[in-house]
Amino acid sequence: MRKTIFFATAAVMLAGAASAQQQPVPQPRPSATAPTPPKAPTIESVSIVDITELPKDTQTQVNQIVAQRGDAGLQTLRKSIDATPKVKSALDAKGVSSAQVIAASLQPNGALTLITKKAG
């Protein structure tokens, strides 16, 4: 079964609503009801996988997406990870840091998978 990797979405979800930048929103008229945005799933579990543990075709897909996202997207993801104690402690337990994370996937059930790449 293939997992869809949501890089930008995971970064935003990791950061949480409290730390996300909010655009000014005009106040709705009392008679209008504002739509509620979908709630980001709560992180229930964290799995850390090195890219070398993935099948070759998946490695290629991850590398292509990482290249498309660029350094700014990668830095946003890493800052979000560092700002989330549960995720940061999971990395620490594995002996890796957010600097080694290249991708993330957050499933609707709260399962977060971080893909790492060793320096070198």
Task: Evaluate whether residue 77 is within a structural domain.
Answer: yes
pLDDT band at 118 (very low <50, low <70, confident <90, very high): confident
Domain that holds residue 97: 40-120
CB 15 within 8 A of CB 80: yes
11-24 burial: b if 16+ Cβ within 10 Å, else e: bbbbbeeeeeeeee
Residue 7 has pLDDT above 60, yes or no: no
Question: Tell me, what's the pLDDT at 113?
Answer: 95
pLDDT band at 41 (very low <50, low <70, confident <90, very high): confident
Task: Evaluate whether residue 67 is within a structural domain.
Answer: yes
- pTM recorded for the entire structure: 0.68
Task: Evaluate whether residue 24 is within a structural domain.
Answer: no
Residues 42-94 have pLDDT tens digits of 899 999 999 999 999 999 999 999 999 899 999 999 999 999 999 999 999 99
